[in-house]
Amino acid sequence: MNSDPTTHNIHPSPNPGSGNREWNESQAPQGAALEKTFGREEILLPVKCNQHPWMKMFISVVKTPFYAVSGPDGKYELKGLPPGDYTLAFVHEKFGEKTQKVTLAAKESKTVNINFQP
Ligand SMILES: [Cu+2]
């Protein structure tokens, strides 16, 4: 959705081999919302605005409902995971990916912290 009084351009550039399709669409000021889907899982799919070179973001496409985006304080929460063994993947646009294994018992809650600093 473009709530700004200027035209933007939404230009996702999927990573080669991802199987997702590149597209490029302008969106008028106060224009109707665009609804798009990506057919394949992809982490950190880059999106830019061709009108404004400083406008960049990433989209992560996942099949699981268990994902989170950390807040400004770095905190995240995953709710409703069934008991089991998991590998949590933490992804940062500059520092890459780190993983952490975790085992959850029924009704158990755990804190998993990750540090991207060297
Ligand atoms: Cu823009």
Kindly report, residue by residue over 53-87, the tens digit of the pLDDT. Answer: 999 999 999 999 999 999 999 999 999 999 999 99
Predicted local confidence at residue 95, as pLDDT:
92
CA of 13 to the centre of ligand 1 (A): 15
The whole-model pTM stands at 0.82
Predicted local confidence at residue 31, as pLDDT:
82
Instruction: DSSP letter for 110, please.
Output: -
d(CA 102, CA 88): 7
Predicted local confidence at residue 62, as pLDDT:
94
CA of 74 to the centre of ligand 1 (A): 26
Structure tokens given for 61: 């496409």
CA of 53 to the centre of ligand 1 (A): 8
Predicted local confidence at residue 117, as pLDDT:
81
Between strands 56-61 and 96-104, the pairing is unpaired
CA of 9 to the centre of ligand 1 (A): 6
CA of 21 to the centre of ligand 1 (A): 21
